[in-house]
Amino acid sequence: MTNPFFEPWTTPFGAPPFDRIRAEHFPAAFDRGMADNLIEIEAITANPMPADFANTIEALERSGGLLTTVGAVFGNLVASLGDDGLQQVERDYAPKLAAHGSKVSLNPALFARVADLHGRREELAMAADARRLLERTYLGFVRSGAALDGPAKTRMAEISERLATLHTDFGQNVLHDERAWHLPLAEADLAGLPDFVRDGAAEAARERGLDGYAITLSRSLIDPFLTFSARRDLREIAYNSWIARGTHPGPHDNMALIPEILALRAERARLLGYALYADFRLADTMAGTPDAVGRLTGEVWQAALLRVDDERAALLRMAGADGLNAMAAWDWRYYAEQVRQSEYALDEAALKPYFVFENIQQAAFDTATRLFGLSFAARPDIATYHQDVRAYAVSEGDRHIGLFLSDPFARAGKRSGAWMSSYREQQSLDGEIRPIIVNNNNFAKASPALLSFDDAETLFHEFGHALHGLLSDVRYPSQSGTSVRRDFVEFPSQVYEHWLSVPETLQAYARHHASNDPLPVALMDRLLSARNFNQGFATIEYTAAAILDMDLHAHPDPASLDIAAFERETLARIGMPAEIGVRHRPPHFQHLFAGAGYAAGYYSYLWAEVLDADGFAAFEDAGDPFDPGAAARLKLVLQSGDSADPMELYVGFRGAAPGTAALLRNRGLAKAS
């Protein structure tokens, strides 16, 4: 059997030949990729010439090409498809890949060459991007344990290998629970549900071979069900099933995994000289320290608590008409929608027909055209990995910029949530290589596919990430696109959300799916005036998760934790309102435990919101949301990747460092603060 990873790809733009790639191709491809990479590392370390930037740092940048390609394709497919074959490969190879990574990052001869160069960096004539690459490469080796003694290095490798297995198990356990559960509904159970929810539930039932309707644990179905269902008993069942993901005793119980994950991370931090994992993680961020994060979350938390008091009172007045004198967590969204309809004459069921998926995606494309000069051409000739996926060639004038894949809909086996990733990253070290970027969302599939306003914002958010990858214009792979500090990576995505709310955008693209009539101006005005409605709730549920993250990773003895008790105690200490559930409970908090990407870093969305609120003000100050000058400065940020310090990039765009005032104002919390 021919393995497509072992031959050149003649597809348009070098896209992966998805129609030929199978789960059984990955083991051999991973094995060869790791073997080739070790040969390349040996060539660097065996070089008799003294270390210089070309024969060490640039050689390291060139290494691992096959392994990078295979890993990118595999990582994306296992998240987007999640079939049994891919999951088995993931379980088998996660520890093997971690062990391989340790062989490279803990290689003493390789680190000696990097450290030698780093020690002589003041003597070397290097361009700014090369100097930064050297410094960041050296720091990466140190933070991986390369400077430790032999036994400590061995332990670091063991920790990495074990964490890779635990992260894989955690993510697969959440996916198992999401695939296993559904709430069947008969016609009599649909009270209060608008047509778009019924259509989504009917599609979910058909996908599972069921008659009638079904609510699944996709956020695109759970959220609207909790918002509109008049059946409080069914809302309770759905909500409790949603928050129970990862908690079921047995082989898929994540509660048993979390203390070990935390303990291993804490041990790694101590080996590297840090008292706590949070200290280690924050040392290489814009925030810098847990105290800085705590000041930000504390300021926002207190302002949001005051706002929630007013929101709760309004909701209780509405709930009183139904005989309730207290609300539970499965009631808040339902009564918030009732209050929104009452106070703003804004009914999401009436609003949603104007937000057709295809139109909103086109709005995201056209916004990028106006801001950055990009154009998007559908390429149905390019094979994709699922029938829902669409490919687009992205250009700037006559220049090919990259390939964009859109994977918008929820399905069984697909990881929940929304994310951007890449199949290939931009670089120009040995000639121009343009990126292949994918946006995954989990919108409810229906005909037509209608989005909530929050869904539409999510689409713009992920497309902002995509633009960060597509516009990347750097030399070195390690500096490409979104390869930036964790608390900067959300800035491009969150600032892009603002363009959805520009009246010009709404008037042009928010069109009724049946009549094509534009969103009525009066309805648009009510939508925009209600943007800060329920912001106390939204801020509390997010910030509580960020605080939980920091507290878990700042615990001195995480191995001893009873996670459920710790969660209850933390939420009680900060005064979590009983009627609001934390956005991500630990047992399904994949940002933290299905990988280390956002571990001690979930605050990043809030940190980036400080940047994006202040950043969009550059366009507001110019009096034009498409101001060419501000757009050119923002484009430079997106093009620069990690080739410069993120705060330097931001100040170059905005002229000064940001403060929290714009964030609080945008969330409607400024008066409360």
188 plus 127 within the same structural domain: no
Distances (CA, A) of 123 to 118, 120, 346: 10, 6, 64
Torsion angle defined by CA atoms of residues 377, 383, 386 and 388, in that order, rounded to the nearest 10 degrees: 20
Say if 263 falls within a structural domain.
Answer: no
Candidates 309, 318, 312, 324; CA nearest to 341 is 318
For residues 318, 324, 329 and 335, what is the CA-based torsion angle, rounded to 10 degrees? -20
Asked if residue 198 has pLDDT above 60, the reply is yes
Q: Is 462 designated active site?
A: yes
Indicate whether 12 and 134 sit together in one domain: yes
Nearest partner of 240 among 328, 149, 148, 117, judged by Cα? 328
Residue 213: which H helix or E strand, with range? strand 213-216
Q: Say if 28 falls within a structural domain.
A: yes
Is residue 260 in a domain?
no
Which tokens is 200 given?
């989504």
Q: Among 296, 260, 289, 295, which residue's Cα sits nearest to residue 275?
A: 289
Find out whether 238 and 226 touch, Cβ atoms under 8 Å: yes
- For residues 133 and 200, state if they share a domain: no
Residues 35 and 100 in one domain: yes
Asked if the structure places residue 544 within a domain, the reply is no
In a domain, 647, yes or no: no
Kindly report, residue by residue over 262-299, the tens digit of the pLDDT.
Answer: 999 999 999 999 999 999 999 999 999 999 999 999 99
* CA 81 and chain centroid, separation: 17
Residues 9, 114 within the same domain? yes
User: Residue 489 is encoded by which pair of tokens?
Assistant: 């990576």
Count of domains for the chain: 2
State residue 347's pLDDT score. Answer: 85
Give domain status of residue 132, yes or no.
yes
Alpha carbons within 13 A on the beta-carbon side of 458: 19
Average pLDDT over residues 427-454: 95
% of residues, the chain, pLDDT over 90: 94
Give yes or no: residues 196 and 130 share one domain: no
Q: In angstroms, what CA-CA distances link 224 with 179, 183, 204?
A: 19, 14, 14
Instruction: Give yes or no: residues 199 and 112 share one domain.
Output: no
Domain limits for position 229: 181-243
Strands 419-424 and 399-409: unpaired
Report the distance separating Cα 91 and Cα 89, nearest Å: 5
pLDDT > 90? residue 671: no
Rounded mean pLDDT, 54-79? 98
pLDDT band of residue 82 (cuts 50, 70, 90) is: confident
**In the predicted model, what is the mean pLDDT of residues 299-303?**
94
Q: Identify whether 398 is part of a domain.
A: no
Phi, psi angles (nearest 5°) of residue 443: -70, 150
Distance in angstroms (rounded) separating the CA atoms of residues 221 and 206: 14
Residue 4 has pLDDT above 50, yes or no: yes
Domain boundary among 92, 116, 144: 144
H, E, C per residue of 85-146: HHHHHHHHHHHHHHHHHHHHHCCHHHHHHHHHHHHCCCCCCCCHHHHHHHHHHHHHHHHHCC
Choosing from 90, 178, 462, 497, the catalytic residue is 462
Whether 271 and 603 have beta carbons less than 8 Å apart is answered as no
Which whole-number Å values give the CA distances from 390 to 40, 247, 362, 376, 511, in the listed order?
36, 36, 13, 12, 22
Separation between Cα atoms, residue 425 and residue 439, nearest integer Å: 14
For the stretch 101-152, pLDDT in tens is: 999 999 999 999 999 999 999 999 999 999 999 999 999 999 999 999 999 9
The whole-angstrom separation of Cα 27 and Cα 34 is 11
Same domain, 15 and 78: yes
Whole-number average pLDDT of the chain: 96
- Judge contact between 483 and 642, C-beta under 8 A: yes
Burial grade of 377 (CB within 10 A; 0-12, 13-18, 19 or more): exposed
Quick check: 665 pLDDT over 90? no
Residue 124 to residue 133: CA distance in whole angstroms = 13
pLDDT in tens, 517-562: 999 999 999 999 998 899 999 999 999 999 999 999 999 999 999 9
Cβ contacts of residue 406 below 8 Å, gap of 6+?
A: 361, 389, 390, 392, 438, 439
Residues 69, 194, single domain; the answer is no
Same domain, 133 and 185: no
Q: Tell me the pTM.
A: 0.94
Residue 672 scores a pLDDT above 80: no
For residues 82 and 209, state if they share a domain. Answer: no
- Does residue 414 fall inside a structural domain? no
pLDDT in tens, 487-514: 999 999 999 999 999 999 999 999 999 9
H helices within 517-588, ranges in order?
521-529, 535-553, 563-574
pLDDT at residue 673 is higher than 50: no
CATH of the domain at 19: 1.20.1050.40
Percent of the chain with pLDDT over 70: 99
Tens-digit pLDDT profile for residues 225-246: 999 999 999 999 999 999 999 9
